[in-house]
Amino acid sequence: MSPVNLSTQLAGITLRNPILTCSGTYGFGEEYVAYCPLEALGGITLKGITPLPRLGNPVPRLAETPAGLLNAVGLENPGLEEFLKSYLPKVRKLPTAAIANISGFSLEDYVLLARALQKDSGLAALEVNISCPNVKHGGMHFGTDPQSAQEVIAAVKAETDLPVIAKLSPNVTDIVGMAHAVQLGGADALSLINTLLGMHIDINHQRPVLANTFGGLSGPAIRPVAVRMVWQVFQAVDLPIIGMGGITTWQDAVEFMLAGATAVSIGTGNFVNPLAPLEILQGIQDYCEKRGLASVHDLVGLAHRA
Amino acid sequence: MLTEGQVVVHESLGDEEQRLRRLVLKGPIARTAHAGQFVAIQVQDSSIASFDPLLRRPISIAGISSERDEITLLYRIQGRGTEILARAKCGERLSVMGPLGKGFSLPEKGELWLVAGGIGIFPLYPLAQSALAQGLTVRLFWGGENKSFLESAGLSSWKDLGIPLQLSTLDGSLGQTGLVTEQAQELLEKSTASGGQIRAAACGPKKMMQAVTELFKNYKVSVEVSLEERMGCAVGACLGCVCTLIDEAGVLIHRKVCQDGPVFRGEEVVWDESC
Ligand SMILES: Cc1cc2nc3c(=O)[nH]c(=O)nc-3n(C[C@H](O)[C@H](O)[C@H](O)COP(=O)(O)OP(=O)(O)OC[C@H]3O[C@@H](n4cnc5c(N)ncnc54)[C@H](O)[C@@H]3O)c2cc1C
Ligand SMILES: Cc1cc2nc3c(=O)[nH]c(=O)nc-3n(C[C@H](O)[C@H](O)[C@H](O)COP(=O)(O)O)c2cc1C
Ligand code: FES
């Protein structure tokens, strides 16, 4: 039997395969090199950057919950200037596609970042995080109000020649409405989902565990929510979807693709098993082979058949 | 390195009341490990996929035998994760990442003073062994809750090293009553006055390491401290575990405990919790 075609088209770019890693869980690409060969991945998404450097939130920034992880890193990052100077040259040398992730506190922030990141930077695409819940007065209102979401995506789109991926927050009542809005704004693809806002209280100390009180929940605990959102958005919007939220095994990844994800991204799962991206890729390949599918793309949205 | 460690010894350490365990794992980690480094260990058998608890647990490397390809981990059952780990049986395979982080450094010559609080003693044993092998003079100050704790947590193997031990307990059941710093001060006074070349390494509760750093600074003795923070990735990718340092220019910076540490120079650590 001929091997399964893994090549994945997304927002005008061609990825080696549909496996990506999530922003904020994979640093700027170098940290996992000793554990997972990057050349085997479809691509990686870099830690979110803002125009100015940020120290982020105080510790504790992490709290474990049943099959989940709360984080309140608070967008710690070196800022645009330092990213361009010290990180981008190394990122360009990575043996896989690199997607930058941008965050802001105002429309101007997003515009500034988009202007600085063009095709000639060597990046494959720009993921726009309109949904980070860990920063007070942060991107959240862009992530929950369809009108602002549309405006921010349109503004980014007008500034950069890179494909633009809108990363949506699950902390909304109508995810389809948000997806429609960013499609109107001109997004080339969607990332679904960012973390769900949560908290954990230490009953011995009778205080919140996280210094920031609230944090974003990730990991297997959020997977059913993410799959549901991918399913709904796939039905309503004609844009490729990068599915993420709790993917740790190949079965999880297949589930997302059946729901409508063109590619999948692994975040917290890397912490559990740094080889997860490789094992997931192998698992998807075997699954396709067994089912007689010629291409991974044939899986996308398959569960929607009447 | 991601490896499977095979459990060769897993036993209770001393008085059961202390909830301490000794876990010896066979695998290649021993070949490159240094004192002060740690591993991130999955707490259940790696052949069973389970995501609760989700994260690996960071545990210091407390013994290194490169000839036998074995590392020793000593830990206290603290909560759910270590409770599950404690059930691992001989022959089981546990997924281990390591050796991780940057460990302690050794001075070329002179004296190395070790200062431990409670189970902070564990990573200091392989450090004492390397220091002695290199011909340094080693001395230990160790404070714990009581006699039962010190004896359970390995006092006899420290005695076997034949180095001076200055012990203290909170209740006075062994050694002096009180804090380790009180003990160290007297000797610091004497030794530095006679021109001794001293370096120190400390591991224990944050408040203790801060007190040690400040005390030793008065005598111009630099201290390396081993910090703890909650970890996600354990390799520097998630920024979950930062600590605050003050750089030479006086600017506050963040460093990752998992990758840039866990060992830092005490003088550069900003101990204030709110940073
Ligand atoms: C670099 C490093 C080295 C360590 N070495 C040792 C050692 O040699 N022996 C030993 O007994 N313990 C050591 N610890 C502490 C050990 O990691 C925790 O006791 C353990 O993670 C507790 O897990 P639990 O599920 O049993 O407890 P729980 O309290 O239920 O843990 C819940 C969560 O909090 C985290 N957590 C709890 N306490 C700590 C802590 N003190 N530091 C960091 N994270 C914590 C856990 O990882 C987990 O995510 C070390 C910690 C670090 C950071
Ligand atoms: C520690 C941590 C940091 C994160 N930082 C970012 C970030 O900077 N930008 C962003 O868009 N998403 C960030 N995320 C969200 C992830 O990219 C992802 O959307 C989410 O964690 C769900 O996937 P998972 O369950 O596989 O981790 C972060 C997640 C974690 C756990
Ligand atoms: S635990 Fe992820 S950066 Fe240290």
Lowest mean pLDDT among A1-10, B199-208, B254-263: A1-10
Please judge whether B241 and A59 are an interchain contact, meaning their C-beta atoms are less than 8 angstroms apart.
yes
Give residue A137's pLDDT: 52
Interface test with B, best of A271, A279, A280 (most B CBs within 10 A): A271
B111-226 and B229-275 agree in CATH topology: no
ipTM topping 0.85: yes
User: Given ligand 2 and candidates A25, A61, A77, A192, which is best to mutate, with the most ligand atoms within 8 Å of its CB?
Assistant: A25
Cα–chain-centroid distance for residue A31? 18
As a whole number of angstroms, the distance between CA B91 and CA B71 comes to 15
Please judge whether A24 and B238 are an interchain contact, meaning their C-beta atoms are less than 8 angstroms apart.
yes
Domain ranges of chain A: 8-304
Q: What is the rounded average pLDDT of the residues A28-49?
A: 96
For domain B111-226, say whether CATH 3.40.50.80 is its number: yes
Q: Taking an 8 Å Cβ-Cβ cutoff, which residues of chain A contact chain B?
A: 24-27, 31-32, 34-35, 47, 55-56, 58-64, 66-69, 71, 73, 76, 219-220, 248-249, 268, 270-275
CA A103–ligand 2 middle distance (angstroms)? 12
Fold annotation for B229-275? Dihydroorotate dehydrogenase B (pyrk subunit); domain 3 (2.10.240)
pLDDT band at A96 (very low <50, low <70, confident <90, very high): very high
Domain ranges of chain B: 2-100, 111-226, 229-275
Q: What is the rounded average pLDDT of the residues A196-205?
A: 96
Q: Which residue has the tokens 């709110």?
A: B274
Render pLDDT for A230-283 as a digit per residue (tens, 0 to 9).
Answer: 999 999 999 999 999 999 999 999 999 999 999 999 999 999 999 999 999 999
Judge contact between A280 and A22, C-beta under 8 A. no
CA A181–ligand 1 middle distance (angstroms)? 44
Judge contact between B102 and B260, C-beta under 8 A. yes
- Choosing among 3.50.50.60, 2.60.120.380, 2.40.30.10, 1.20.1300.10, the CATH entry for B2-100 is 2.40.30.10
CB-count exposure of residue A275 (10 Å: 0-12, 13-18, 19+): middle
Render pLDDT for B129-179 as a digit per residue (tens, 0 to 9).
Answer: 999 999 999 999 999 999 999 999 999 999 999 999 999 999 999 998 988
CB-count exposure of residue B187 (10 Å: 0-12, 13-18, 19+): middle
As a whole number of angstroms, the distance between CA A1 and CA A134 comes to 48
Q: How many CB atoms lie within 10 A of CB B119?
A: 22
Give residue B275's pLDDT: 54
Q: What is the CATH number of domain A8-304?
A: 3.20.20.70
Q: Is B235 on the interface with A (CB under 8 A)?
A: yes
Render pLDDT for B264-275 as a digit per residue (tens, 0 to 9).
Answer: 999 999 998 665
For the cut 90, the answer to whether the pLDDT of residue B89 exceeds it is yes
Give residue A290's pLDDT: 96
Q: Which atom of ligand 2 is nearest to the CA of A223?
A: 25
User: Given ligand 2 and candidates A21, A23, A126, which is best to mutate, with the most ligand atoms within 8 Å of its CB?
Assistant: A23
Residue B201: phi and psi, rounded to 5, are -135, 130
Render pLDDT for A163-195 as a digit per residue (tens, 0 to 9).
Answer: 999 999 999 999 999 999 999 999 999 999 999
Nearest to A195 by CA among A104, A66, A105, A68: A68
Residue A79: phi and psi, rounded to 5, are 85, 160
For the cut 60, the answer to whether the pLDDT of residue A215 exceeds it is yes
How does strand B223-226 pair with strand B198-203?
Answer: parallel
